[in-house]
Amino acid sequence: MMRSIETKNLIQDLARQAGSQHYLNAISLDWLLLVAIGFSLAIAAAMVFVLIGVRPDFGIMVQRAPFHYKIALTLSMVCAGFFFAQRAGQPDRTKLPLIAPLPALLLLALGASTDTSGLPITGNSGISVPACVGAILVVSLPVLAVILGVLRSRAPTRLVVAGAAAGLLSGAVGATAYTLACKNDGALFVAVWYSAAILLMIGLGAAIGRRALAW
Amino acid sequence: MWSEAMRAERQGDVAAYERLLKELADLLRRMIKHRLAQHGLGAGDTEDLVQEVLIGLHTKRHAWDASRPFLPWMYAIVRYKFVDAVRRLKRESRYRIDITIDEWSELLEAPAEDADRRMLEIDRHLSDLPQGQQDVVHALAIEGASVRATARKLGTSEGAVRVTFHRALQRLMARAELGQAVTLRGKI
């Protein structure tokens, strides 16, 4: 009996807080995610700039097809990550948008199968693979923190899925920033090693999701 | 109807929100009692769980998209909180001891003659504690309130209440040279 009186008091306490909300909570999840993506992309790009520096031939690079392929691929992954994260933050949306990663997957298949550049899959130099994957992971970490923060402010109920979605989105944002510095133009290299880095981020997000997103 | 109340809450309508929470509490009480039984757990934790789910719904109320139906959203949150709590209860149940009434009376009979002296002693030890620890011990161990209710009453977090309680216990045990304080431990 005492417990239900306690519940009554609790309800009164909670009811008195009607209408009082943190201003960030009034923003829809879509907008909050978009702002977070823009903000964390800027952080990731700044990190690339400071830690690695942009490519010396940056001005020429941005006009050429390999860079366009990288940007198209990584941005299509950002889109996929956005839709996954947006669903994962809403408990009543149980169906994941399985079409969302389709453009990215098509681009991956296209790039890997039509690569006629003759550039080796392991990149220009012996350290290309670890440098590329490592750089994407490092610049993706702060992005992951931001995205997990956004999801925490909402109501994720499938924590591992939500963590994986946050990992995908942050890996894709990190990879987008890394294109500014990436010296390997082979489409096969990009398709394989960018994906590997993003898959690692998905795994990391899923692994820490259960704890980081619990409420 | 409940969606209406949820929208009214955003306009600061205390009465509508309180009505909603009351109706939700009634629904949750019935639902949780039933579901606990399905999981082979006693109904004793029902009210705790009702409170937990209510607080969850309250703190996440902004995350409900007002253009979408309320019930599926609410049920998803209830399910999440319930699964979480069942996992915790099953883990805790390993530390709980169910003692029959006969065994209890056996346990309680022995010290009966000096019970008054014990109570006085406990009181004396309690009054040696700092005021903050006294409040927490009094609420938890003597009034029998829950950790959450105590935290709310004292205006701090549940974690802080737990920490304070454990500090108080350590102090009490150091003074009383073990003994009676140990029995309070199972509570947290």
At A3, is the secondary structure helix, strand, or coil? Answer: helix
The pLDDT tens digits for A61-97 are 888 989 999 999 999 999 999 999 999 999 988 888 8
* Look-up of token digits 């995205």: A147
Which chain A residues have any C-beta within 8 angstroms of a chain B C-beta? 2-4, 6-7, 9-22, 25-26, 28-29, 89-92, 94, 153-155, 157, 214-215
Give dist(CA A103, CA A109) in Å, integer: 10
CB pairs under 8 A between A and B: 95
Q: ipTM of this model?
A: 0.83
For B19-65, the pLDDT digits (tens) are 999 999 999 999 998 888 888 787 778 888 898 999 999 989 988 88
Tell me, what's the pLDDT at A199?
A: 97
Tokens representing residue A194 in the block? 């960018």
**In the block, residue with structure tokens 């969606």:** B3
Q: What is the pLDDT of residues A102-140, one digit of tens each?
A: 999 999 999 888 887 778 888 878 788 999 999 999 999
Spatial distance between the Cα atoms of B77 and A124, rounded to a whole number of angstroms: 51
Q: How many residues does chain A have?
A: 215
Residue A20 pLDDT grade (very low, low, confident, very high; cuts 50, 70, 90): confident
Q: Among candidates A15, A13, A7, A14, which has minimal Cα distance to B28?
A: A7
What pLDDT is recorded for position A137? 97
pLDDT computed for residue B107 by the predictor? 63
* Segment B7-26, tens digit of pLDDT: 888 888 888 899 999 999 99
Tokens (6 digits) for B99:
């003692």
**Tally of CB atoms within 10 A around A1:** 6
pLDDT at A74: 97
How confident is residue B180, by pLDDT bands cut at 50, 70 and 90?
A: very low
Q: Which residues of A touch B32 (CB under 8 A)?
A: none
Query: Does B142 score more than 70 pLDDT?
Result: yes
Q: Mind listing the pLDDT tens digit for each residue in A150-190?
A: 999 999 999 999 999 999 999 999 999 999 999 888 999 99
Q: List residues in chain B touching A: CB distance below 8 A.
A: 8-18, 21-22, 25, 47-48, 50-51, 54-56, 58-60, 62-65, 68-69, 72-73, 76-77, 79-80, 84, 144-146, 149, 152
